[in-house]
Chain A
Amino acid sequence: MDVRAQLRGFIVDNFMMGQDATVLTASGSLLELGIIDSTGVLELVGFLEETFQITVEDDDLVPDNLDSVDNLVKYIQRKSNS
C-alpha cells in the first residue's frame, strides 16, 4: 500500500470515527478541520515512527510537515530518503 493510502486509512480509522471520510481532502488542515487535536498528534507521530521507520524530531513538529495529508506524504518521503 502506498504512503498516502496508509496515511489516509490511519487518519480515517483513528480520528474520524463518526465523520464522513470525504471531509479529509489532500491539502486540508487537519487541525482546522478539527480532525486532530493537541493529544492526537502524539498518536500520529507514534504511527509515523512505527509504520515508516523514521524518527520525528521535536523541531519537525510544524504545520509544513504534519498538518495535511499532502504535507505528511512529502515529509515522510523526505525523511525516508535522508
Chain B
Amino acid sequence: MCGIAGYFKLNDTTDLPDEQLIGRMIKILHHRGPDEIGAYLDDLCVLGQARLSIIDLSTGSQPLCNEDGSIWISYNGEIYNYIELRDELEKAGHRFRTRSDTEVIVHAYEQWGRECLSRFNGQFAFAIYDKKQGSLFIARDRLGIRPVFYTTHNGRFIFASEIKSIFCDLSVPRHLDLKGLDEIFTWWTTAPPRTAFDGINELEAGCYLEIKNGQVSNHRWWSMDFPTEFDRSRSIDSWAEELHELLVDSVRLRLRADVPVGAYLSGGLDSSATTALIKHFTETRVETFSIAFHDKAYDESEFQREMADHLGTNHHQVSCSYQDIAENFPHVIWHAERPIVRTAPTPLYMLSALVRRNDFKVVLTGEGADEIFGGYDLFKETLIRKFWSRRPDSKWRPLLLRKLYPTLPLSPGRARFYLETFYKKGLSQTDEYLFSHLPRINTTVKLKEYFTDDVKAQIGDHPSLEVFGRDLPDQFDRWHHLLRAQYLEARSLLSGYLLSSQGDRVSAANSVEGRYPFLDHRVVELGSRIPPWYKIRGLNEKAVLKRAMKAELPSRIVNRVKQPYMAPDSNSFFCDNRPAYIEELLAEESLNRAGLFKPSAVNKLKTKCGRLSHAHLSFKDNMSFIGILSAQLMVQRFVDQFEPPSPPTSDEYSVWHDDRRGI
C-alpha cells in the first residue's frame, strides 16, 4: 500500500505549480504511506509518492527510475511474481539496483511496453513517466483492488490514489456529481469513469491511460470473460483439485513480504479457507483478526473462535457497538469519498486499526470468493427467478425463495406473499442485462424519492439503469444467467464498493494493506472456466470451493448457512450518547444548504428510524437513512470544510529529484 499523486502538462502555455502543491498532495495521503515520502519533478511532469514499505525496506524508495533516468515510476501495490519476472528481465540484459518489485515494473515497461501489464500478477495502480516519449502511462490492476483518480484542469492532467489529494489544488472545483449520486442510489456505486464528484474521474479496473501530446486516451487491457459452452465430462472433483493447487500457490505468493502478514477471519468459508491454506502449506506463523458485534444478530465470533482454535492461531478481536459505528462513520466517509448505503465498511475500518495496533501492515482476506464462485444470495435469486420465469404461474416454484435468507431476523416465512411479489417484479425481463440485479436495484432506487425537485431536474433523464450495459462483452447475451450476474457484480459492486469503500479505503486509512488470494487472476480465470452448475449446485453456493477445501476445514464451517456480512445500520445512529453531527447534518437548515434532500421527508424518516428497532425497519428505510447521512457528510467534509494540509519540509523527503530547468 502506498499513495501516489502527480500532474502532467497538457500544453506549452501552462506552467506547473510550485513544489508546495505536490507536497500537500502527498501529505494528505499520509495514511496510505506513513513510512517515507518522495517526489520527482521536471518541467513536464511531477510525481509524488507516500510509501508503506513492505518489500525491500532499505532501497525500495520512490519515485524510482531506470538505469539512465529516462523512465520514472510512482507506484502503489504489489506485483507478487516479481521474483520470476526479475529473473526473466535479467536474462534479457536488464540491470537492477534494488530488490524491489517497483524496479521490476520499470524494466518490464522498458522491455514489453504496455504489454507488460498482462505479465503482472498483482494489485496495483501506477504512473510511469517516459521522458523520451514525453508521455505518462497510468495503469490499474484487473479487478480494481488499488485505486487511481484523475482530472484535467487548467491545462494540466492531475492524478492521485484518492480524490482528496487532487482537491489539494484548490482551483479544482469540488462539488457532488448529481448523476453520480443517482447512479449510487441505483447500483451502490458509480460506473467509472464517473465518481461522486463532478469532473473527477476514476480509472476503471483493467484499464490504462496514456497521456501524450496533450491528449488523454483510455484503453481496456483486461476484462472478465466466460465461455458459452462447458465441458460436461469433467467432474467437480477434478475442478476442485485444480482449484486447490492454484489457491495454495496464490496464498504462497501473497505471503511474499519483508514484514509479518496477518489474516482476517470472518467466521465464514472464504477467510477460513485462506487462513487454513497459510497454516497448512506455508511456514508462516498466523495471527488472525476479527470483528465481533455487541448486537448478536450480526455477531459471528463463535465461528471465528472455532476456526482460530482449529488452526491454533494467535487471535485478536475488536468489539463493535452501535456507538462505535456512529462515531467512526464520518471517518469512513472521508476515506470512502462516496456516499454509501450500508454502514458495513465502518467495522472494517475499526478492524484495520486493530491490525495496525498490533504492528501488522499486511493482511490476507477472503474477498472475491463470493463473486468468483457464486456465493451471494443474489446469484441464487437469479437462478430461482429464471427457473420461475419459465412457469410464471407456478405455485411451488417461487417457494424456493423461502430457502434464501434463513439467517435474517426478518424471516420471510410470515411475509411469503410479499417476498414472492417483490421478486416477481421484472420476472419477464430475463433478457435484460440487469435481470439478476433488478430486485436489489428496485429497492435501492426508492432512495431517490428523497431528492429535492431541483436535484431531480438536474439529473434529468440520466440513464443510471443502463450505465453498466454500455460496453458489455460481445458474448454476454450468450452466457449462462449466473455468469452474467457474476460479471455484472464484479464490474459494479466488487470494484465500486467491496474493494473500495469496504476494502482499500478503510484498510489504507490505517496504513494496512489487504491481499486477496481469491483475486489472483489465475484463480479468477479458472473460476470462469468452471461450469456454473458446479458453482451453485441446487441451492448450495460455492460448491466447488467447498469441495476443494473440505479436507482443511471443520465441517461446521463448510456446511454452515452463509451469513451475509452486515453491520447494524440506522439504529446505530440513535444509540445513547450519539455524536452531535447526526442531528446537525439532518437539521432542516443543513439539508436546505446542501440542497440534495427534502427536509420534511428526511424528518419523517428520522422519526421512524429512531422509533423502530432494526427488526422492523425495511432495507429501504435503512439504506435511505445511511445514504442521506453519508451524502450530507460528503458535502460537509469535501465541499464546505475542505482544507489541504501544510506541505512537508524538505528534510522529510527520502527522495527529492529535481530535473526542472525552469528554475
The residues of A with any CB-CB pair to B shorter than 8 Å are 13-14, 16-19, 31-32, 34, 36-43, 45-46, 58, 61-63
B: number of interface residues (CB 8 Å): 33
Query: Does B222 make an interface contact (CB < 8 A)?
Result: no
A36 to chain B: closest residue by CB? B418
What mask results when residues 419 to 461 of chain B are scored 1 for a CB within 8 Å of chain A, else 0? 1011001000000000000000011001001110000000000
Whether B410 sits at the interface, judged by CB under 8 Å, is yes
List the 10 shortest-distance A-B pairs measured between CB atoms, nearest first.
A18-B449, A39-B618, A18-B601, A18-B450, A17-B604, A38-B418, A17-B601, A41-B418, A41-B415, A38-B419
Q: Measured between alpha carbons, how far is A32 from B289 in the docked complex, in Å?
A: 45
Give chain B residues whose Cβ lies under 8 Å from the Cβ of A41: 415, 418
Known: A17-B604, A17-B605, A18-B598. A40 touches B618 (CB 8 A): yes
**Given contacts A18-B601, A61-B414, A62-B417, is CB(A39)–CB(B619) below 8 Å?**
yes
Q: Which residues of B contact A19 (CB under 8 A)?
A: 449
Q: Mark B577-614, 1 if CB is under 8 A from A, else 0.
A: 00000000000000000000110011011001000100
Given the known interface contacts A17-B604, A46-B616, A62-B417, the answer about A39 and B450 at a Cβ–Cβ threshold of 8 Å is no
Contact of B415 among A16, A18, A38, A63 (CB under 8 A): A38
Instruction: Jot down 16 A-B pairs with beta carbons below 8 A, ordered by A.
Output: A13-B608, A17-B624, A18-B598, A18-B601, A18-B605, A18-B624, A31-B421, A31-B422, A32-B425, A37-B620, A38-B419, A42-B410, A45-B414, A46-B616, A61-B417, A63-B417
| Residue in B412, B597, B624 whose CB lies within 8 Å of A38 | B412
Are A58 and B601 interface neighbours, CB within 8 A? no
Cα distance A41–B597 in the bound complex, in angstroms: 26
List, in ascending order, chain A residues with CB within 8 A of B617's CB: 39
A42 and B616 contact, Cβ closer than 8 Å, known pairs A18-B450, A31-B422? yes
CA A18 – CA B623 in complex, angstroms? 14
Q: How far is the CB of B460 from chain A (nearest CB, A)?
A: 18
- B449 → chain A closest CB, angstroms: 3
Q: Which residues of chain A are within 8 angstroms of B413 by Cβ–Cβ distance?
A: 58
Q: How far is the CA of A46 from the CA of B611 in the complex (A)?
A: 13
Q: Please, how many angstroms separate the alpha-carbon atoms of A19 and B604 in the complex?
A: 12
Q: Which residues of A contact B612 (CB under 8 A)?
A: 43
A13 to B612, CA, bound (A): 14
Q: A37–B618 contact, CB under 8 A?
A: yes
Q: In the bound complex, do residue B415 and residue A39 qualify as a contact, i.e. CB atoms below 8 Å apart?
A: yes
Smallest Cβ-Cβ distance to B618: which chain A residue: A39
B416 in the interface (beta carbon within 8 A): yes
* Contacting residues, chain B, for A31 (C-beta < 8 A): 418, 421-422
Nearest CB in chain B: distance from A40 CB, A? 5
Q: Beyond A31-B421, A32-B425, A63-B421: 10 further Cβ-contacts under 8 Å?
A: A17-B601, A17-B605, A37-B619, A38-B422, A39-B617, A39-B620, A40-B618, A43-B612, A61-B416, A61-B418
In the assembled complex, which residues on chain A have CB atoms less than 8 Å from the CB atom of B425? 32
Q: List chain A residues, Cβ under 8 A from B449.
A: 16-19
Known: A17-B605, A18-B601, A42-B410. A34 touches B418 (CB 8 A): no
Which chain A residue has the least Cβ–Cβ distance from B416?
A61
Residue of A nearest to B445 (CB): A34
B610 to chain A, nearest CB (A): 13
A36 vs B415: C-alpha distance when bound (angstroms): 12
Which A residues are in CB contact (< 8 Å) with B616?
39, 42-43, 46
User: Across the interface, do A58 and B418 meet the contact criterion of CB distance under 8 Å?
Assistant: no
Q: Is the CB of A61 within 8 A of B415?
A: yes
Give A8 to B417 CA distance when docked, in angstroms. 22
Bound together, the chains give a CA A18 to CA B185 distance in angstroms of 14
Q: Contact flags (1/0) for B309-326 with A, using CB distance below 8 Å? A: 000000000000000000
Q: How far is the CA of A41 from the CA of B421 in the complex (A)?
A: 12
Taking the nearest CB of chain B, how far is it from the CB of A46, in angstroms? 7
Contact B422 A17 (CB under 8 A): no
Please measure, in the bound complex, the distance between the C-alpha atom of A65 and the C-alpha atom of B505, giving whole angstroms.
48
CB contacts (< 8 Å) of B619 on chain A: these are 37, 39
How far apart are B464's CB and chain A's nearest CB, in angstroms? 16
* Contact A14 B442, beta carbon cutoff 8 Å: no
Contacts of B421 in A (CB 8 A): 31, 63
CB contact list, B214-263 vs A, under 8 A: none
A17-B450, A17-B604 given; A58·B618 CB < 8 A: no
Q: How far is the CB of A54 from chain B (nearest CB, A)?
A: 16
Bound-complex Cα distance A17 to B413 (A): 27
Give B421's nearest chain A residue, CB to CB.
A31
Q: A18-B598, A40-B620 are in contact. Are A34 and B416 (CB under 8 A)?
A: no
Contact B442 A58 (CB under 8 A): no
Q: Chain B contacts of A34 at CB under 8 A?
A: 442, 446
B417: chain A residues at CB < 8 Å are 61-63
The docked-state distance in angstroms from the alpha carbon of A52 to that of B650 is 74
> A30's closest neighbor in chain B, by CB?
B418
Q: Is the CB of A37 within 8 A of B601?
A: no
- Cα A26 to Cα B449 in complex, Å, equals 21
Distance between B598 CB and nearest chain A CB, rounded to angstroms? 6
Q: How far is the CB of B456 from chain A (nearest CB, A)?
A: 11
Residue contact B608 to A14, C-beta cutoff 8 Å? yes
Residues of A within 8 A of B418 (CB): 31, 36-38, 40-41, 61
Could you mark each residue 47-74 of chain B with 1 if its beta carbon is under 8 Å from any beta carbon of chain A, else 0? 0000000000000000000000000000
Of chain A, the residue at the smallest CB distance from B450 is A18
The CA-CA distance from A42 to B411 in the complex, in Å, is 10
Q: What residue of chain A has the Cβ atom nearest to residue B413's Cβ?
A: A58
A8, B259: Cα distance in complex, Å: 63
* Nearest chain A CB to B406 CB, angstrom units: 14
Which residue of chain B lies nearest to A29 when distances are taken between CB atoms in the complex?
B421
- Closest Cβ of chain B to A4, distance in Å, is 21
Binary CB contact string for chain B from 140 to 151 against chain A (1 if under 8 A, 0 otherwise): 000000000000
